[in-house]
C-alpha cells in the first residue's frame, strides 16, 4: 500500500484532493499531510498551481486533477484514465498557466491535445502523422517552447536522429503541427531518456548516463553546470565533463538549480539561488563555510598535540586559548596541519580541484548514505537516502533551501518555522519509510512512500 504526502504552498488547491475536506488545508502547509492512500500512486504532473495524481484503488480508478490551471475548466472532457498515462507526455509551464496539454502516442501517429487557456479556452487536438514523433516539450517562462522530436524515417536509422525545435509561442507550435515540415530538422542530437528544465536551463540524460545541458539565456553560467566556449556554446546540448566518469540515473530541476543522482547513490547539484534572493545553499557557495560540527576540538587542558599559539594570541586567557584551539582545528580541517592523532573520524575540506560548477552533496556526518530519489523546486531540494554498511536498511528524507511556504515539510525547526535552511535537515515524518517518488514544483512538494513497513528494492 502506498501513501502520498503533500506540503508547501497550496494557494491554488493543488495539494487538496477532492476527497478531503479543504478545511484540513491552508494556503501554506509546513508539515506533510497524507492526501492519498492506494495500492499504487504516481504523481504524473505538477506545477505551481495544479497537479495530476494517478491512484489505483481499482483498475477503473481515474487520475485526479487538483488545482486551478486550464484543466479545471475541462476536467470532465479530458480523459484521465490510468491506461493512457503510462505513454502520455504532459507539457505546460512550471509557473504561468500550469498544465497546458498532453501527447498520446498511437501506433502510427500522435495526438497532441491543447487544453486551452483564458485567451483560447477551447480544446484542440491535432494529429501528427509519422515519421516525426515528439519526445519532449518544454514550456519556458516567456511562453516560448523547446520541442525535441524524433525522425523515424528508415533513412534516419542513426542513433542521432533526434532534433531540437524552438517556437516563440504556442500558436507557432500549433502552426507547425498542422504542417510539420522536415526542413525544420537539422543539427541532430543524441537520444535523451529524460529531459528536465528550470527558469533558465534544460538538462537531459542520455541512455548511457551522460548529462547534457543548454540554455538560450547565458546570463547564469552556474545553471549550465559547465563552462561556455566557442566549441561548447550555451545554446546547444553539450555534456557536463565533470560527470563524464559518472553514470547518472535521474535528473531533477527547478528554480535555478539542477540535481543529478548517480548509480552509486551520489547526489550532485549545480546552479544558484534566484536573482535577488539573499540566501544560498551552503553546498553551492563559492567557499562553503567551515561548520563547528566538522571540527575536532578536544579539551585544551589535556590536549598534548596543541601547537603553541603565536604572539598574536597572547596574553594567555581561557578565551584566547579556546580561540587558538579552534583555529588549529580549522587548519587541520583545511589540510594545513595533520589530523589530530586522537580524532576518531577525521574530516577535511573539499579538494581545491573540486569542480567550479557541479558540487557533490554530503548526505551525512559519518553515516554511509546513498541517495535514491530527489526533487528540486523553486529554491528547495528534497532527497531520500538509505544507509549502507553497518546501518543498512535505515532510511531518511532530507530537505534544504527556501522554506517560507512550508515546502521543506520541517514544520517548526528549532522552535520556529524557518524561512531558509542552508543545509540538509531530516524530515522526521518520513524516518524509516521507503520513498517511491519525490516531486517538487514551485513552492510545493509531493512525496510517495510505500506503507510503513519498508521493504528492500
Is the confidence at residue 320, as pLDDT, over 90? no
199 and 342 fall within a common domain? no
Most confident of 144-153, 263-272, 321-330: 263-272
- Domain assignment of residue 421, yes or no: no
Closest CA to 290 of 353, 335, 250: 335
Domain that holds residue 50: 2-282
pLDDT of 382 above 90: yes
pLDDT at 64: 84
Domain annotation covers residue 335: yes
Residue 155: which pLDDT band, with cuts at 50, 70 and 90? low
What pLDDT, on a 0 to 100 scale, did the predictor assign at position 449?
Answer: 97
Which pLDDT belongs to residue 66? 86
Q: Which residues pair with residue 162 across a beta bridge?
A: 150, 189
Contacts of 299-304 with C-beta under 8 Å, sequence gap 24+, read: 300/325
Based on the domain organization, do 115 and 170 belong to the same domain? yes
User: What cell was used for 360?
Assistant: 557533490
Residue that wins the pLDDT comparison between 366 and 369 = 369
Whether residue 115 sits in one domain with residue 25: yes
The answer to whether the CB of 440 falls within 8 A of the CB of 25 is no
Residue 425: per-residue pLDDT: 93
Query: Which band of pLDDT confidence, cut at 50, 70 and 90, is reported for residue 353?
Result: low
Q: Is the pLDDT of residue 456 over 50?
A: no
Tell me the pLDDT band of 352, cut-offs 50, 70 and 90.
low
Q: Which of 234, 264, 282 is the last residue of a domain?
A: 282
All three cell numbers of 245: 566518469
Indicate whether 448 belongs to any domain. Answer: no
As a whole-number percent, the residues of the chain with pLDDT over 90 amount to 47
* 40 assigned to some structural domain: yes
What is the per-residue pLDDT for 418?
79
pLDDT of residue 288: 61
The mean pLDDT of the chain is: 85
Q: Take residue 312 and report the three cell numbers written for it.
A: 598574536
Which pLDDT score is estimated for 454? 37
Could you tell me if 208 and 311 lie in one domain?
no
The reply to whether 335 and 231 lie within a common domain is no
Peptide bond connecting 250 to the previous residue in cis, omega within 30 degrees of 0: no
Q: Poorest-confidence range of 39-43, 265-269, 316-320?
A: 316-320
pLDDT (tens digit per residue) in 130-141: 788 899 999 998
How sure is the predictor about 389, in pLDDT bands with cuts at 50, 70 and 90? low
pLDDT at 191: 87
Same domain membership, residue 67 and residue 26: yes
Average of pLDDT values for 202-212? 96
Res. 287 pLDDT band, cuts 50 70 90: low
Residue 170 near residue 114 (C-beta atoms within 8 A): yes
CATH of the domain at 150: 2.130.10.30
pTM assigned to the model = 0.82
Higher pLDDT, 77 or 450: 450
More confident residue, 392 or 277: 277
- The SS3 of residue 284 is helix
Give the per-residue pLDDT at 453.
Answer: 39
Q: Kindly state whether residue 36 falls inside one of the protein's structural domains.
A: yes
Q: Which residue has the higher pLDDT, 214 or 64?
A: 214
The confidence score (pLDDT) of residue 224 equals 96
What mean pLDDT do residues 289-307 have? 85
Q: Are residues 115 and 246 in the same domain?
A: yes
What does DSSP say about strands 248-254 and 257-262: parallel, antiparallel, or unpaired?
antiparallel
Residue 434 grid coordinates:
521507503
Stretch 394-413: mean pLDDT, rounded? 91
pLDDT of residue 192: 92
In this predicted structure, the answer to whether residue 434 has a pLDDT above a threshold of 80 is yes
306: in domain: yes
**Confidence at 455, pLDDT banded by 50, 70, 90:** very low
Say whether both 265 and 307 belong to one domain. no
Q: Per residue in 231-241, pLDDT tens?
A: 999 999 999 99
Q: Is residue 386 part of a domain?
A: no
Are 274 and 318 contained in the same domain? no
| Cell numbers standing for residue 274 | 534566484
Would you state the pLDDT for residue 354?
65
Give yes or no: residues 62 and 210 share one domain.
yes
CA 284 to centroid of chain Cα atoms: 15
Q: Is pLDDT at 118 greater than 60 in this prediction?
A: no
pLDDT in tens, 76-100: 445 565 556 667 889 998 888 889 9
Residues 174 and 199 in one domain: yes
Residue 452 in domain? no
Final residue of a domain: which of 282, 304, 339?
282
Residues 310, 216 within the same domain: no
Which of 246, 264, 282 represents a domain boundary (last residue)?
282
Work out how many domains the chain is built from and give that number. Answer: 2
Residue 156, pLDDT > 80, answer no
What is the average per-residue pLDDT within 111-122?
75
**Quick one: CA torsion of 65, 71, 77, 83, rounded to 10 degrees?**
-50
Predicted pLDDT of residue 238: 95
Q: What is the mean pLDDT of residues 254-273?
A: 97
In eight-state DSSP terms, residue 189 is: B
* pLDDT surpassing 50 at residue 457: no
Strand partners, 268: 260, 360
Look at residue 365 and tell me whether its pLDDT is greater than 50. Answer: yes
Amino acid at each position: 500500500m502506498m501513501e502520498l504526502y503533500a506540503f508547501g504552498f497550496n494557494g491554488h488547491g493543488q495539494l487538496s484532493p477532492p476527497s478531503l475536506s479543504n478545511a484540513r488545508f491552508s494556503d501554506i502547509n509546513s508539515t506533510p499531510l497524507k492526501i492519498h492512500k492506494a495500492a499504487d500512486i504516481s504523481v504524473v504532473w505538477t506545477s505551481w498551481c495544479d497537479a495530476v495524481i494517478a491512484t489505483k484503488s481499482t483498475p477503473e480508478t481515474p487520475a485526479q486533477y487538483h488545482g486551478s490551471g486550464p484543466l479545471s475548466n475541462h476536467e470532465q472532457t479530458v480523459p484521465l484514465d490510468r491506461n493512457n498515462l503510462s505513454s502520455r507526455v504532459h507539457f505546460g509551464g512550471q509557473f504561468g498557466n500550469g498544465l497546458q496539454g498532453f501527447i498520446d502516442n498511437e501506433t502510427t501517429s500522435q495526438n497532441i491535445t491543447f487544453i486551452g487557456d483564458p485567451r483560447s479556452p477551447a480544446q484542440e487536438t491535432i494529429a501528427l502523422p509519422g515519421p516525426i514523433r515528439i519526445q519532449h516539450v518544454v514550456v519556458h517562462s516567456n511562453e516560448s517552447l523547446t520541442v525535441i522530436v524524433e525522425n523515424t524515417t528508415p533513412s534516419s536509422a542513426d542513433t542521432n536522429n533526434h532534433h531540437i525545435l524552438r517556437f516563440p509561442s504556442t500558436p507557432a507550435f500549433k502552426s507547425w503541427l498542422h504542417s510539420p515540415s522536415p526542413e525544420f530538422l537539422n543539427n541532430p542530437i543524441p537520444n535523451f531518456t529524460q529531459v528536465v528544465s528550470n527558469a533558465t536551463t534544460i538538462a537531459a540524460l542520455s541512455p548511457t548516463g551522460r548529462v547534457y545541458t543548454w540554455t538560450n539565456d547565458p546570463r547564469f553560467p552556474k545553471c549550465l553546470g559547465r563552462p561556455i566556449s566557442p566549441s561548447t556554446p550555451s545554446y546547444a546540448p553539450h555534456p557536463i565533463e565533470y560527470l563524464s566518469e559518472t553514470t547518472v540515473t535521474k535528473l531533477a530541476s527547478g528554480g535555478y538549480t539542477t540535481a543529478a543522482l548517480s548509480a552509486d547513490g551520489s547526489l550532485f547539484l549545480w546552479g544558484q539561488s534566484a536573482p535577488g534572493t539573499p540566501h544560498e545553499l551552503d553546498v553551492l557557495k563559492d567557499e562553503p563555510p567551515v561548520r563547528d560540527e566538522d571540527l575536532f576540538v578536544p579539551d585544551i587542558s589535556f590536549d598534548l598535540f596543541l601547537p603553541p599559539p603565536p604572539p598574536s594570541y597572547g596574553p594567555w586567557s581561557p578565551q584566547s586559548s579556546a580561540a587558538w584551539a579552534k583555529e588549529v582545528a580549522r587548519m587541520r580541517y583545511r589540510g594545513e596541519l595533520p589530523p589530530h592523532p586522537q580524532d576518531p573520524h577525521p574530516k577535511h575540506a573539499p579538494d581545491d580541484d573540486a569542480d567550479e560548477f557541479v558540487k557533490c552533496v554530503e548526505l551525512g556526518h559519518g553515516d554511509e548514505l546513498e541517495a535514491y530519489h530527489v526533487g528540486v523546486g523553486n529554491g528547495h531540494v528534497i532527497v531520500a537516502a538509505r544507509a549502507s554498511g553497518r546501518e543498512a536498511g535505515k532510511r531518511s528524507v532530507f530537505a534544504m533551501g527556501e522554506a517560507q511556504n512550508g515546502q521543506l515539510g520541517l514544520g517548526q525547526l528549532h522552535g520556529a518555522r524557518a524561512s531558509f535552511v542552508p543545509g540538509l535537515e531530516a524530515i522526521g515524518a518520513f524516518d524509516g519509510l521507503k520513498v517511491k517518488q519525490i516531486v517538487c514544483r514551485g513552492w510545493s512538494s509531493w512525496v510517495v512512500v510505500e506503507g510503513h513497513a519498508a521493504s528492500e528494492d
